[in-house]
Amino acid sequence: MKKLICLWLGLALAGVCLQAQTDKREVRAGNRKFDKKEYKAAEIDYRKAVLKDSLSVPASYNLAGSLYRQENWDEAGKALEQVKEQAPLSAHAAEWHYNSGDVALQKKDYAAAVKAFRDALLLTPDDLDAKENYIYAKKMLENQQNGGGGQNENEDENQDQQQDQNQNQDQQEQQQDQQDQNQDKQDQQEQEQKISPQQAQQMLKAIQAKEKETQDKVNKEKAAALKARQKDKNW
């Protein structure tokens, strides 16, 4: 749709040239602001012109252009609808049909978009932009009728990417869970291998008792040797 919007914008600028059909001050003022990309201010001037002449093709057509630039699709469609009897009979009928098709695309009214671009092509068969948009609108209408909901290729691609991301995330979570489980087992093994404070105290007491037993044995041996020497001593 970005390309389609750009196509619309180019035609909307072409619509500014419709001021040749009227010398109304409001339309000319709106055109100057439109050229400066002051679309809200241009909208106000075009609405003033429409109030003075509700059948003015330039006023309603350019009003639709300013509203479209503000992404107000519903109001843009109403502005074009305002002159649906006059515009197809004017010198700018092809542009009116084309822009009506773009508004319909934005509103996902693909049946209306197909009709609008087809009508534009009947008047300007060599308009490549109208051909591209007609093919696109027709494809989207077929998708919609087949239960596809009118999703475009970019939306399908985004969905595929999102699914891939979800799958990758699931795999990463599974790997993390496995790592956590392995770490828990390792921690448990290390914990089992560790000596509790009570066990350490018991081991220390056993070592101390063994040392005392050894020391007592050594002392007894020393005492026995000394006693023997004393018996052998010549007084």
Domain that holds residue 68: 2-149
Whole-number pLDDT of residue 197: 73
Q: Is residue 54 one of the residues assigned to a domain?
A: yes
Alpha-carbon gap, residue 118 to 106, rounded angstroms: 17
Q: Which residues contact 99 (CB under 8 A, 6 or more apart)?
A: 8, 11, 12, 15, 61, 64, 65, 68, 80
Whole-number pLDDT of residue 222: 66
Average pLDDT for residues 135-159, to the nearest whole number? 74
Phi, psi of 71 (to 5 degrees): 60, 30
CB burial of residue 78 (10 Å; 0-12, 13-18, 19+): middle
CATH number, domain with residue 35 = 1.25.40.10
Average pLDDT for residues 106-124, to the nearest whole number? 95
Phi, psi of 59 (to 5 degrees): -65, -50
* Segment 152-169, tens digit of pLDDT: 555 555 666 666 666 766
pLDDT at residue 9 tops 90: no
Q: Is residue 165 one of the residues assigned to a domain?
A: no
Whole-number pLDDT of residue 1: 30
Q: Is residue 16 one of the residues assigned to a domain?
A: yes
Whole-number pLDDT of residue 35: 93
pLDDT at residue 55 tops 80: yes
Q: Provide the Cα torsion 161, 167, 170, 174; round to 10°.
A: -140
pLDDT at residue 37 tops 90: yes
Alpha-carbon gap, residue 90 to 158, rounded angstroms: 42
Whole-number pLDDT of residue 7: 28
Residue 175 one-letter amino acid: Q
Phi, psi of 118 (to 5 degrees): -65, -40
* Segment 69-79, tens digit of pLDDT: 999 999 999 99
Q: Is residue 210 one of the residues assigned to a domain?
A: no
Range among 54-58, 94-98, 172-176, 186-190 rated most confident: 94-98
Average pLDDT for residues 7-30, to the nearest whole number? 53
Whole-number pLDDT of residue 141: 94
* Segment 179-191, tens digit of pLDDT: 777 776 676 666 5
Whole-number pLDDT of residue 21: 47
Average pLDDT for residues 94-110, to the nearest whole number? 94
pLDDT at residue 94 tops 60: yes
Q: What stretches of the chain show up as alpha helix (H) in DSSP?
A: 2-16, 25-35, 39-52, 57-69, 73-81, 93-106, 110-123, 128-145, 153-193, 197-232
pLDDT at residue 147 tops 60: yes
Residue 1 one-letter amino acid: M
Q: Is residue 139 one of the residues assigned to a domain?
A: yes
| Structural domains counted in the chain | 1
Q: Is residue 204 one of the residues assigned to a domain?
A: no
